[in-house]
Structure 1
């Protein structure tokens, strides 16, 4: 199913955008043609842009990688934005500049608010979207402070705003769906984005985010017994065990190679789980050899098989867990 992110583009104290974003999310969640997730930039405290250009999809800062995974998981966006001094909020512009390939060939709609309904902010956002190869839809919702907010502080939109919002959502879903073949055309970028989303799901211990990375019938050959874990629930049980051991989890993929052909792809590299245990001890973990097999479902690439292993000494049968790539 198409995934649409509702991006709340203001983080300032006393903001009105949270009221507007909830209104958009509540209305959107009634639909059956897409899933909608509220993305609050307060949850992504990015520094002022310090990354090299993001055309490769590889980022150095953990905060950028987390943000990239969030953006990559979406097929389209609705930006909820105020207007600051005739322009877009700096924090939203900074968030859009931090990544690049994760925005490409997706759709964008706008719900704006402010003294002039936020219309001038949206005009600038459309130019930014063009540079990022985001397809901005024509309908938009503008919410003037004088008419849609009681005492310019409490959001109380008129019922006439709902058809306008529905039209924006209709167009964002339709264009996100129509652009899906183009997104699938860059299979390697999409697969790396899926793995980035998996890594971020591990770091925040989000089993539902991990579920979206695997096929329902995934078969996993993990380092822990039994010999195989069949089905996504069995795979998630294994990750849940990790979460019970670690207070804070980190995961690193290194030297990843991806080859795609048709609707299947194979990736291999080295992976390592590390972090802080429940008893406060920090561990670097061990490097394992990882292999992934992906299938294109039409809604995105999912893992249908993975295998993690360590070499072992044939003479002693002892696994060699202290090797590094």
Structure 2
């Protein structure tokens, strides 16, 4: 199976986003988002509409990880068609406590992209965690 130029470009963008997330560089994180982004994150609000709202959210998230972020994508799949694409993967996501111990859970990540002015930008992002329907508790210990 051959890899398209579009897939190569999107993988490079995802790798840049991941590096920015691990180092806490919010400006580098959000440069991958379109201005009209709609995001469904796993924390704080039901949805974030617009790049500004999601940028503010990322700043708040970084305050919860003063010792650095953890992000590791697994099983990344990318589909492209013209100027539209989407990806999905599992992700080990979290941070470090005061003693340097990892505090993370596995998340599900789906993104939609549109190529605008020669750049693939995220127009929709969705992070989620599975939960137990009987207890209503998030299953932070779920693993792939």
Normalising by structure 2, report the TM-score: 0.89
For 2:24 and 2:44, the matched residues in 1 are separated by: 22
Check conservation: 2:48, 2:54, Cα contact below 8 A: yes
CA displacement 1:51-107 (0-9 Å, x = unmatched): xxxxx9xxxxxxxxxxxxxxxxxxxxxxxxxxxxxxxxxxxxxxxxxxxxxxxxxxx
Are 1:262 and 2:82 counterparts?
yes
For 2:81 and 2:119, the matched residues in 1 are separated by: 14
For 2:54 and 2:93, the matched residues in 1 are separated by: 16
For 2:103 and 2:76, the matched residues in 1 are separated by: 20
Are 1:186 and 2:5 counterparts?
yes
203-212 or 259-268: which moved more? 203-212
Match of 1:302 among 121, 124, 127: 121
Match of 1:282 among 72, 77, 101: 101
Check conservation: 2:38, 2:125, Cα contact below 8 A: yes
Aligned residue number for residue 68 of structure 2: 248
For 2:58 and 2:102, the matched residues in 1 are separated by: 17
Runs of 4+ displaced beyond 3 Å? none
**Structure 1 stretches lacking a partner, 5+ long:** 1-55, 57-184
Q: Which has the higher helix share?
A: 1
Check conservation: 2:22, 2:71, Cα contact below 8 A: yes
State the Cα distance separating 1:239 from its structure 2 match. 1.8
CA displacement 1:85-134 (0-9 Å, x = unmatched): xxxxxxxxxxxxxxxxxxxxxxxxxxxxxxxxxxxxxxxxxxxxxxxxxx
Normalising by structure 1, report the TM-score: 0.41
For 2:124 and 2:78, the matched residues in 1 are separated by: 14
Kindly report the root-mean-square deviation, in angstroms, between the aligned alpha carbons of the 2 structures.
Answer: 1.9
State the Cα distance separating 1:291 from its structure 2 match. 0.4
**Structure 2 stretches lacking a partner, 5+ long:** none
Bigger RCO of structures 1 and 2 (CA < 8 A, at least 6 apart): 2
For 2:74 and 2:89, the matched residues in 1 are separated by: 6
Aligned residue number for residue 316 of structure 1: 135
Aligned residue number for residue 224 of structure 1: 43
Q: How does 1:29-44 map onto structure 2 within 5 Å?
A: none
What SS does structure 2 have at the residue aligned with 1:280?
Answer: coil
CA displacement 1:235-273 (0-9 Å, x = unmatched): 122221222122122211110100000111010011122
Aligned residue number for residue 212 of structure 1: 31
190-199 or 231-240: which moved more? 231-240
For 2:23 and 2:129, the matched residues in 1 are separated by: 26
State the Cα distance separating 1:232 from its structure 2 match. 1.1
Point out the structure with max Rg over C-alpha. Answer: 1
Aligned residue number for residue 20 of structure 2: 201
Matched residues, number: 142
